[in-house]
């Protein structure tokens, strides 16, 4: 059985922010029903081919959800358990898996067992539920005992995951989530801080309940295989490539991300057998649109996210190019309340991600294939994913000008974004990418369609049957490529071996590079968004 995770395309929501809940639970006395807002977004998710939803913390807490006060009660700012059941059912009915945030390293000070400890002190039956409780000291809150916190945040009390009662309570809570919401997996918060034996117990318990249950840990640094292995977790967050995805574009240095991908997934790569959780932003880091030096690279980054090995994930609102940065230590700007609007639904980046989702859903090589580097320069990069008889190439150009690229292959390739077909000649395919442009190239037996030559070129095609020593005046002029760049046509030349006519033309802006292209390709129409348009349009001299 193929595990569903290999074909997963995730969407990540931080519910308290997404639903517009007040910052503190005490600010809202009555139960709200905000969590049902997710149902109204399901069609948007399906349009992007999303088939798995990861929800940040949803259970009762004092503030941000990572300070749990009750693992078996939905936060009243979001709604009731019955509301969550309705959401879970709607997701599953639409073919979307559900993964919840498992916050098991620590709880909030409002957690019912810690409240008992505050009330009863050493006589509390829960005194051993927490890590390093010492009744000979005091806490920063003035408690008559000290305890271990998470990274010095004393509002987050570390659980004692060596205590059998604690383990049983947490496993039974997960069992309740499986029974009530039919969850398909967990994202484990602060996984690097959690006792490994607890993960082993959790793995055995969840696999016994659902054999395709998925466990993914939040890991920022270190060897991912320490946590992601047959005995513990199935996957971890790929923070190494998160950084490389944006940084390699900001520095115009594809060597950075290529090094990581080759180290992780190339021949002899250390994570070849892992399906890592890939992302470009999340609830803890600045939005991609606020991180890139040039937002023209947005589509390139998302193309790479979907084409690279692992599991792609979209953080809510980033498909609209939503901006957000941390300010004065607050994550509030990263976790806004958002609404679907007509402008959002038709945002160019949404359209691009929809196409990426469609391509990934229909091409197994992007889900199961190995990784091979094909070409690497500072500003250009090509890799290929191969699975069984399918090869899918991903090509990138982060330069400020159009670039010509070559792939050694006997197969013709079709650009999955534009449907352009590039014919293999002499065992190689040549194609160009515009500035800050990417392509996913699929092997094809199709041949490029050649439309009837435009009148302006009839004389040129006739005269190229003879040796051309001077530029023909009818061909000199300025043309606009359908992607927006402008060029000056200089000559019609003839290939010395095949006698095929070629157009020689120069970019009008940027580095003003000189290019050649077969005349038949220069004058043909291409399909863009379902409509045929000229590849080049004459705009004057």
Superfamily of domain 370-444: Golgi alpha-mannosidase II (2.60.40.1180)
Q: How far is residue 430's CA from residue 281's CA, in Å, rounded to a whole number?
A: 34
pLDDT at 505 over 90: no
pLDDT at 130 over 90: yes
Per the CB < 8 A criterion, the answer to whether 35 and 78 are in contact is yes
Find the mean pLDDT for residues 168-192: 98
Find the mean pLDDT for residues 192-217: 98
Q: How far is residue 515's CA from residue 301's CA, in Å, rounded to a whole number?
A: 27
The mean pLDDT value of the chain amounts to: 92
SS3 assignment for 141-159: CCCCCECCEECCEEEEEEE
Q: Which residues contact 428 (CB under 8 A, 6 or more apart)?
A: 406, 407, 408, 409
Find the mean pLDDT for residues 14-31: 97
Task: Output the CATH code of domain 9-105+162-242+275-364.
Answer: 3.20.20.80
Q: How far is residue 22's CA from residue 31's CA, in Å, rounded to a whole number?
A: 12
Each residue's pLDDT tens digit, 401-427: 999 999 999 999 999 999 999 999 999
> How many percent of the chain have pLDDT more than 70?
94
Q: 106-160, what's its fold? A: Oligo-1,6-glucosidase; domain 2 (3.90.400)
417 token code pair: 């974004």
State the Cα torsion 152-154-158-159 to the nearest 10°.
180
pLDDT at 468 over 70: no
Q: Which residues contact 244 (CB under 8 A, 6 or more apart)?
A: 256, 257, 259, 260, 261
Give the burial class of 400: count Cβ atoms within 10 A of its Cβ; 0-12 exposed, 13-18 middle, 19 or more buried: middle
Predicted pLDDT at 289? 98
Q: Which residues contact 37 (CB under 8 A, 6 or more apart)?
A: 18, 19
Residue 121, H or E segment: none
pLDDT at 473 over 50: no
How confident is residue 510, by pLDDT bands cut at 50, 70 and 90?
A: low
Q: How far is residue 313's CA from residue 522's CA, in Å, rounded to a whole number?
A: 38
Please report the beta strands in 417-500, taking only residues with DSSP state E, as ranges in sequence order: 421-422, 428-433, 437-444, 477-481, 486-494
Q: Which residue is associated with the tokens 């620590």? A: 106
Same fold, 9-105+162-242+275-364 and 106-160: no
Predicted pLDDT at 467? 36
Q: Which residues contact 351 (CB under 8 A, 6 or more apart)?
A: none
Per the CB < 8 A criterion, the answer to whether 439 and 433 are in contact is yes
Q: Does domain 455-540 have CATH number 2.30.30.320?
A: yes
| Helices (H), ranges, 182-238 | 196-209
Q: Which residue is associated with the tokens 């989530």? A: 177
Find the mean pLDDT for residues 40-56: 98
> Residue 330 gets which letter from DSSP?
B
How confident is residue 449, by pLDDT bands cut at 50, 70 and 90?
A: low
pLDDT at 540 over 70: yes
Each residue's pLDDT tens digit, 251-304: 999 999 999 999 999 999 999 999 999 999 999 999 999 999 999 999 999 999
Handedness of CA 66, 324, 357, 366 (dihedral sign): negative
> Residue 451 gets which letter from DSSP?
P
| Integer CA distances (angstroms), 426 to 76, 410, 415, 489, 497, in order | 67, 8, 20, 26, 12
Each residue's pLDDT tens digit, 210-231: 999 999 999 999 999 999 999 9
Domain spans of the chain? 9-105+162-242+275-364, 106-160, 370-444, 455-540
Question: What are the residues facing 380 on neighbouring strands?
Answer: 397
Please report the beta strands in 194-241, taking only residues with DSSP state E, as ranges in sequence order: 214-217, 235-236
> How many percent of the chain have pLDDT more than 90?
81
């Amino acid at each position: 059985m193929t595990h569903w995770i290999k074909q997963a395309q995730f969407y990540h929501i931080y519910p308290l922010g997404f639903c517009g809940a007040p910052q503190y639970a005490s600010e809202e006395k009555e139960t709200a029903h905000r969590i049902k807002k997710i149902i109204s977004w399901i069609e948007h998710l399906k349009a992007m081919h999303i088939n798995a939803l990861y929800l940040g913390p949803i259970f009762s807490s004092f503030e941000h959800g990572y300070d749990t006060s009750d693992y078996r009660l939905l936060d009243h700012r979001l709604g009731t358990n019955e509301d969550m059941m309705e959401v879970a059912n709607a997701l599953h009915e639409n073919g979307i898996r559900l993964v919840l945030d498992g916050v098991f390293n620590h709880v909030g000070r409002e957690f019912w067992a810690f409240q008992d400890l505050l009330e009863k002190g050493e006589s509390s039956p829960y005194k051993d539920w927490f890590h390093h409780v010492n009744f000979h000291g005091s806490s920063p809150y003035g408690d008559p005992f000290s305890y271990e916190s998470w990274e010095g945040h004393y509002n987050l009390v570390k659980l004692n995951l060596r205590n059998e009662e604690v383990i049983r309570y947490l496993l039974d809570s997960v069992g309740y989530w499986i029974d009530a919401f039919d969850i398909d997996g967990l994202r484990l918060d602060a996984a690097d801080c959690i006792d490994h034996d607890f993960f082993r117990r959790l793995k055995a318990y969840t696999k016994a309940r659902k054999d395709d249950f998925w466990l993914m840990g939040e890991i920022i640094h270190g060897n991912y295989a320490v946590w992601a292995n047959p005995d513990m977790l199935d996957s971890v967050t790929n923070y190494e490539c998160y950084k490389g995805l944006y940084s390699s574009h900001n520095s115009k240095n594809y060597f950075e991300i290529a090094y990581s991908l080759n180290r992780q997934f190339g021949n002899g790569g250390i994570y070849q057998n892992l399906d890592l959780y890939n992302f470009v932003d999340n609830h803890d880091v600045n939005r991609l649109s606020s991180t890139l030096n040039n937002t023209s690279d947005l589509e390139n980054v998302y193309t790479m996210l979907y084409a690279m090995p692992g599991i792609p994930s979209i953080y809510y609102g980033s498909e609209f190019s939503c901006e957000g940065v941390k300010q004065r230590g607050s994550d509030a700007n990263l976790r806004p309340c958002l609404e679907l609007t007509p402008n959002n639904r038709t945002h160019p980046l949404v359209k691009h991600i929809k196409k990426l989702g469609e391509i990934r859903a229909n091409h197994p090589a992007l889900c199961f294939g190995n990784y091979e580097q094909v070409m690497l320069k500072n500003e250009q990069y090509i890799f290929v994913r191969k699975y069984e008889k399918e090869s899918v190439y991903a090509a990138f150009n982060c330069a400020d000008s159009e670039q010509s690229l070559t792939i050694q292959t006997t197969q013709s390739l079709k650009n999955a974004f534009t449907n352009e077909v590039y014919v293999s000649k002499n065992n190689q395919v040549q194609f160009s990418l515009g500035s800050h442009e990417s392509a996913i190239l699929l092997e094809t037996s199709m041949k490029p369609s050649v439309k009837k030559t435009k009148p302006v070129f009839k004389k040129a095609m006739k005269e190229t049957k003879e040796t051309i020593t001077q530029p023909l005046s009818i061909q000199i002029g300025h043309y606009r490529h359908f992607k927006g760049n402008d060029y000056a046509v200089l000559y019609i030349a003839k290939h010395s071996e095949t006698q095929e006519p070629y157009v020689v033309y120069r970019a009008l802006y940027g580095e003003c590079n000189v290019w050649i292209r077969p005349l038949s390709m220069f004058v043909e129409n291409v399909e863009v968004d379902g409509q045929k348009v000229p590849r080049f349009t004459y705009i004057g001299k």
